[in-house]
Structure 1
Amino acid sequence: MSQNLPTVLVVDDEVRSQEALRRTLEEDFTVFTAASAEAAAAIMAREWVQIVLCDQRMPGASGVQFLAEVREKWPDAVRIIISGYTDSEDIIAGINEAGIYQYLLKPWQPEQLLLTLNGAAEMYRLQSDNQRLSLDMKVAEPVLRERVAGKRAAVAQRFAVSALLRAPNSPMNAVCTLVEKVARLDVPVLLTGESGTGKELLARGLHLASPRAEAAFITENCGAVPDQLLESELFGYKRGAFTGAYEDRVGLFKQADGGSIFLDEIGETTPAFQVKLLRVLQEGEVRPVGAPRPLPVDARVVTATNRDLEADMQAGRFREDLFYRLAAITVWVPPLRERAMDIPLIASAFAAELRSVGGEAFAPLDKEVLACLCAYRWPGNVRELRNEILRMAALSDDARLRASDLSPRVLRAAEADDEAELNLLAGMDGDLKARLETLEARIVKESLIRHRWNKTRAAKELGLSRVGLRNKLSRYGLEKS
């Protein structure tokens, strides 16, 4: 008998019936036999039995009585009983007590018997797997809890307001101080400022600095979703509420219960939707689409917009009552051009996150690259700066990011960083010759940077000889050290 086969104990006092069962099962099972409940109990005590197949009518204890004993002493064993039609009522009465998996009626058919016992073997395997997994989970739970706590601490440290990259004299210092103060108060906060300035990052930092830090932080971009979909996303819906609603959906407000929800681009919502959002803030409850009654919800609401909501209120595009509900505290985030001192820190951090084609880290950004980056006004703010660093990494031939890999618009801005030159070009001072020379110097320097200060290529592009280019470099003081 193979030890890999499921084990079954056949209990029957009739030798012929016992042998018939053994012959039918022995090809697929390891079979033990017993003629009485006492003998069967002795086998159970010394052998690993997975399935007990017992006849109902036996001398002494009945099959149901014996299986009830098996359930008490060996609860993992799957219990099956065989009986005649006349015993059905007794068995049905004792099924719950004995925990019988299934019972077969005599005369049994081999196919039916094998099908039943194979199902019992699968049930035993699933029970064993479940017990093993439960034990593994109990053993692993402290380790998993420690890992989760470590990851949560790492996330909190990474996205904390205090970890936001900024210079000692940056305007962001006052913003971060304000955010850390209001984080302690459980009031709605409105973040305003241009797109790409990092409002979502501040919202996450605000959540992590609040008493709700252990709960969920949920985000939604209101400007990217139509009103009808936005309502079902935020408030949830019941099955059958509309075409395609095949099951209940928990809304984002309910998912954020006990935590915070960040609604970006709140100024893009319509007045009709704003009425529904106002009710959530006033009543502290949401009504899923198609639900008969509202559900209570406790989530801190943080919103953001790049629009002038006060102007929108005057124009009737934004509800005044909703504005004052959302803007208990208003935090304005300055654009990147007003905190140029932060650009080297942010750009260097982006570059440090990247790897070159060879898998090595990029070298620190040199002064020429940083000077070009600081001279540009960054209408797309931090998001545009990150894309510029990604562009440089994509165009780089090695592990160094060069000014020649910058976008033409950034290079052109780098040539306009001298206020005197800008004044000359704007006609505020200087004659025509001086203005033309200033413009010529900018064009020459831009060409040199684009060609990585290769004078031969720059001269060819500008239609100059090397001697002519050298003279212009000397005249305009453009010789690179």
Structure 2
Amino acid sequence: MTSGAVLIIDDELRSQESLKRVLSEEFDVLLASNAHEAEAVLAGDLVQAIVCDQRMPGVSGVDFLRHVRETWPDPVRMIISGFSESEDIIAGVNEAGIYQYITKPWDPEKLLQTVRDAVRLYHLQKEPGGVGQELKPSHGTLNRVLSERRREQRKLFEFERIVHDPAGPMVETLALARKAAGYDISVLITGASGAGKELLARAIHFGSARGDKPFVVENCGALPDELLESELFGCKKGAYTGAYQDRIGLFELADGGTIFLDEIGETSPAFQVKLLRVLQEREIRPLGATRSRKIDVRVISATNRDLESDVEQGRFRRDLFYRLNAFPMHLPALTERRGDIPLIAESILAEVNRAFRRKVPGFAPETLRRLRAYGWPGNVRELHNEIQRMVVMSDADAPLGPHLLSARMAGAAPAPRGAPAPATLKDQVEALERGAIARTLLECAGNISHAAERLGLSRVGLRAKIDRYDLRKDVNPAAPLGRACDGYEQ
């Protein structure tokens, strides 16, 4: 029997389904994809608690819950966001009457317990002499809640929790990151998309003296200039079409803490000028405002581009580059740290088990060998998606076998068991080169032009290496599990 009705408001179908799966065992779950649908549900159903995503089309979660408080004050309101601190949580939590703020990725058991407590609070409010119609936390209470949450985040993202091979290249990277954490200096992290740059940035923040202050994130490549300025610097009501109220920018929310600017290389020259001024003057001026505000924020930025090359070609401002690049760091791609792959895979599987309520015990040895052999162009993000898919495809809580791997990994053939390791450095380098060429040819379905472009070689140079390593008779993209081919496109 259910103990109440909970309304989930989220515009992403997968998020709706994940939340419903966790909550439906104990509660009647009602779904809405936007504010309009949510209002229709609230008008027709008795709801004890609302779980609302912060980012929705047309209106933020906090703004909608502020409206709900005025029209339907009874349900206990909760907000979910991908930020460590919601954009408006500090200024708007009291106005919206938000009971709990939940950060992504959320833990299923903690989420369920939070909703249980919220529904219990709803019934207490209804009892004669109960706790009252509204939960109104004081600023002191709010600060204690936020401080406790940051302490939990600090434990979650400490350096020791970054999974890596103790003998792999991440050891040097983490040593540099620990050095950077000890000093209030701007950090620029370079590396391929999906390699884990945000995770490293969080470790630097939570390992620093600012670790008890906010950590906020913005993907600078995802928004046009006007919206990016509003997100970062804030805006006044009426500053542009669609600015219906004052908005606090992420720089102001991060005051005292750290802001992580991902994909900084995707910003326009016009925006770069404005960001440079903020970094030089240590102050922001919201769009439409007449006065500037001082800020104290550490900046960690990241890019998958070669910014030095962009500077030379005039695509990125030199002065901004030197502002951001005070402490440069490079995060190796997953193919450069293959010893990390089994460890990361096990960590991801534990996370997926918790999210999907499964008990898959691990991977078959052959599966791990194939995971290590694959090229992983999408890095850790692609590995995460692959493991999620394998768990969904598996019918029993047994080790994940190679038959569950996706079709794109069919060419990831491991070295034969018992094969002797190359003895000399030259042999080892040639073995790595041969393997990289074979994998790339397989991923490009034998197309020499595409493979040469990906490897940074000429067609003539690649053909010479194919002949040198005798790959024509070994690599066949059409053969099962990556036996090698002699039918390359010429």
TM range (shorter): 0.5 to 0.7
Match of 2:326 in 1: 328
* 1:162, distance to aligned residue in structure 2 (A): 2.1
Match of 1:277 in 2: 275
| Match runs of 1:47-446 below 5 Å | 151-355=149-353, 359-400=357-398, 401-414=400-413, 419=431, 426-428=466-468, 436=473, 438=474, 443=479
- SS in structure 1 of the partner of residue 410 of structure 2: helix
- Answer whether contact 2:213 2:257 (CA < 8 A) is retained: yes
* 1:154, distance to aligned residue in structure 2 (A): 3.0
Q: What does the per-residue CA deviation read over 1:67-110, in whole Å, with 9 as the maximum and x for residues that have no partner?
A: xxxxxxxxxxxxxxxxxxxxxxxxxxxxxxxxxxxxxxxxxxxx
Compared CA separation, residues 190 and 359, structure 1 to 2 (3 A): closer
Higher mean C-alpha displacement, 417-426 vs 367-376: 417-426
Higher mean C-alpha displacement, 381-390 vs 360-369: 360-369
Distance across 2 between alignment mates of 1:197 and 1:282: 30
- Answer whether contact 1:357 1:398 (CA < 8 A) is retained: no
Gaps of 5+ in 1: 1-124, 448-481
* 1:428, distance to aligned residue in structure 2 (A): 2.6
- SS in structure 1 of the partner of residue 343 of structure 2: helix
- SS in structure 2 of the partner of residue 282 of structure 1: helix
Distance across 1 between alignment mates of 2:143 and 2:230: 34
- SS in structure 2 of the partner of residue 223 of structure 1: coil
Matched to 2:341, the amino acid is I
- Answer whether contact 1:356 1:398 (CA < 8 A) is retained: no
Compared CA separation, residues 191 and 444, structure 1 to 2 (3 A): closer
* 1:373, distance to aligned residue in structure 2 (A): 0.4
Q: What does the per-residue CA deviation read over 1:379-434, in whole Å, with 9 as the maximum and x for residues that have no partner?
A: 1110111111111112112113111111223231225788589599933366xxx9
Compared CA separation, residues 130 and 281, structure 1 to 2 (3 A): farther
* 1:157, distance to aligned residue in structure 2 (A): 1.6
- Answer whether contact 2:258 2:298 (CA < 8 A) is retained: yes
Distance across 1 between alignment mates of 2:339 and 2:214: 34
Compared CA separation, residues 428 and 186, structure 1 to 2 (3 A): same
- SS in structure 2 of the partner of residue 170 of structure 1: coil
Q: Which has the higher helix share?
A: 1
Distance across 1 between alignment mates of 2:260 and 2:167: 29
Compared CA separation, residues 344 and 129, structure 1 to 2 (3 A): same
- SS in structure 2 of the partner of residue 412 of structure 1: coil
- Answer whether contact 2:151 2:212 (CA < 8 A) is retained: no
* 1:435, distance to aligned residue in structure 2 (A): 6.2
Identity between Structure 1 and Structure 2 (%): 47
Matched to 2:254, the amino acid is A
Distance across 2 between alignment mates of 1:442 and 1:135: 64
Gaps of 5+ in 2: 1-124, 420-430, 439-462, 484-490
* 1:325, distance to aligned residue in structure 2 (A): 0.5
Compared CA separation, residues 150 and 446, structure 1 to 2 (3 A): same
- SS in structure 1 of the partner of residue 411 of structure 2: helix
Compared CA separation, residues 435 and 235, structure 1 to 2 (3 A): closer
What is the root-mean-square deviation of aligned Cα atoms in Å?
A: 3.5
- SS in structure 2 of the partner of residue 220 of structure 1: strand
Q: Decide which structure has the larger Cα Rg and report it.
A: 1
Match of 1:10 in 2: none
- Answer whether contact 2:186 2:327 (CA < 8 A) is retained: yes
* 1:243, distance to aligned residue in structure 2 (A): 2.3
- SS in structure 1 of the partner of residue 319 of structure 2: helix
Matched to 1:379, the amino acid is P
Matched to 1:406, the amino acid is L
Compared CA separation, residues 240 and 322, structure 1 to 2 (3 A): same
Compared CA separation, residues 347 and 281, structure 1 to 2 (3 A): same
* 1:135, distance to aligned residue in structure 2 (A): 11
- Answer whether contact 2:251 2:295 (CA < 8 A) is retained: yes
Match of 1:6 in 2: none
Distance across 2 between alignment mates of 1:398 and 1:268: 44
TM-score, length-scaled by structure 2: 0.58
Distance across 1 between alignment mates of 2:167 and 2:389: 29
Distance across 1 between alignment mates of 2:258 and 2:209: 10
Q: What does the per-residue CA deviation read over 1:137-158, in whole Å, with 9 as the maximum and x for residues that have no partner?
A: 79xx89x988766543332122
- Answer whether contact 2:181 2:207 (CA < 8 A) is retained: yes
Matched to 1:411, the amino acid is A
Distance across 2 between alignment mates of 1:355 and 1:407: 19
- Answer whether contact 2:219 2:261 (CA < 8 A) is retained: yes
Matched to 1:301, the amino acid is V
- Answer whether contact 1:356 1:393 (CA < 8 A) is retained: no
- Answer whether contact 1:237 1:250 (CA < 8 A) is retained: yes
Matched to 1:402, the amino acid is G
Distance across 2 between alignment mates of 1:253 and 1:283: 13
